[in-house]
């Protein structure tokens, strides 16, 4: 439990941003599940973020980072750590070095707190190709990069050129060739805080981009429970396999624990049908993992992040 006595005072000097206290984290997740956080800090600039991290370390306090809360399960008892939200990091612009933006390639810079769909829309409106496969994926740019979000043969790290991060108290620019991104991992360590990314895109016809995005969106609507309260895919796809198919064939589609249900449309989505709890969600995860292991000999690994007291 974070002490109330002087944390705000300790951080007030030089900190620009908002500080919220006694916040229910269910209001910050797409599942609408989660207990209380004593503090949420919302820094408005990198220097304030760095000062916050240093002050927390000096006070012996831990922290967790949240973005859009769309691939996140917060436990019912809440979190001991301070929560940091990056939603103030919203910059988005086309950038070019000495006229390099005049050819087929176009560089775009986006900060980590920006909505991923705002970036996708920006690219569509600007006739920039490379991210259309990510249309309809919720969350923030930072979360997408950290988890290497992807769909329809497109992953965000395919177009990332460099990543600006806060690491060990320093702001560092990492070139793409120095980052070992893999399936559902941007290749960055958990203690690395993403500040922004430069991405490299191709000029394309706006109408053609719109048509491709519309096709992807229609496929999503037919195969995924768009609009329901979920955290996206619960489990990673095993190599050369589909987690949804395994869950379905193991007989779990439509299974329910409390108000958490395995989607009848896409078995790798768990839906909060009403007043679902993290306990319900975790119990359903355990049941699915056990059932798939017994039937197929495959152990499913979580794709969602899980934070809080357990």
Active site residue ranges: 184, 233, 303
The pair of three-digit structure tokens given for residue 244, joined into one six-digit string: 């949804």
Inter-residue contact 276 to 29 (CB < 8 Å): no
Q: Which residues pair with 19 in a beta bridge?
A: 41
Nearest to 158 by CA among 176, 143, 170: 176
What is the chain's length?
A: 310
Report in angstroms the alpha-carbon separations of 82 from 2, 42, 190, 305. Answer: 7, 11, 16, 16
| Spatial CB neighbours of 182, under 8 Å, sequence gap ≥ 6 | 148
Inter-residue contact 223 to 265 (CB < 8 Å): yes
């Amino acid at each position: 439990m974070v002490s109330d006595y002087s944390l705000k005072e300790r951080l007030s000097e030089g900190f620009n941003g908002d500080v919220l206290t006694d916040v229910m984290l269910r209001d910050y997740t797409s599942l609408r599940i989660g207990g209380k956080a004593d503090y949420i800090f919302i820094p408005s600039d990198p220097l304030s973020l760095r000062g916050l991290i240093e002050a927390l370390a000096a006070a012996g306090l831990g922290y967790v980072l949240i973005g859009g809360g769309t691939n996140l399960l917060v436990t019912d008892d809440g979190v001991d750590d301070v929560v940091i939200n990056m939603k103030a990091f919203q910059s988005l612009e086309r950038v070019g070095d000495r006229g390099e933006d005049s050819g087929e390639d176009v560089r775009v810079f986006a900060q980590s707190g920006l909505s991923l769909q705002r970036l996708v829309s920006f690219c569509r409106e600007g006739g920039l190709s490379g991210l259309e496969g990510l249309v309809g994926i919720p969350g923030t740019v930072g979360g997408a990069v950290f988890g290497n979000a992807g769909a329809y043969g497109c992953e965000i790290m395919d177009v990332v050129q460099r990543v600006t991060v806060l690491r060990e108290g320093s702001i560092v620019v990492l070139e793409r060739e120095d980052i070992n991104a893999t399936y559902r991992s941007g290749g960055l360590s958990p203690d690395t805080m993403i500040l922004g990314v430069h991405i490299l895109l191709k000029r394309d016809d706006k109408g053609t981009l719109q048509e491709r995005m519309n096709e992807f969106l229609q496929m999503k609507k037919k195969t995924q429970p768009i609009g329901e309260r979920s955290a996206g895919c619960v489990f990673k796809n095993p190599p050369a396999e589909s987690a949804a198919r395994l869950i379905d064939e193991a007989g779990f589609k439509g299974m329910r624990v409390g108000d958490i249900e395995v989607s009848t449309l896409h078995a790798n989505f768990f839906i909060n049908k009403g007043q679902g709890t993290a306990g319900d969600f975790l119990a359903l995860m355990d049941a699915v993992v056990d059932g798939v292991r017994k039937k197929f000999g495959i152990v499913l690994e979580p794709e969602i992040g899980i934070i809080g007291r357990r």
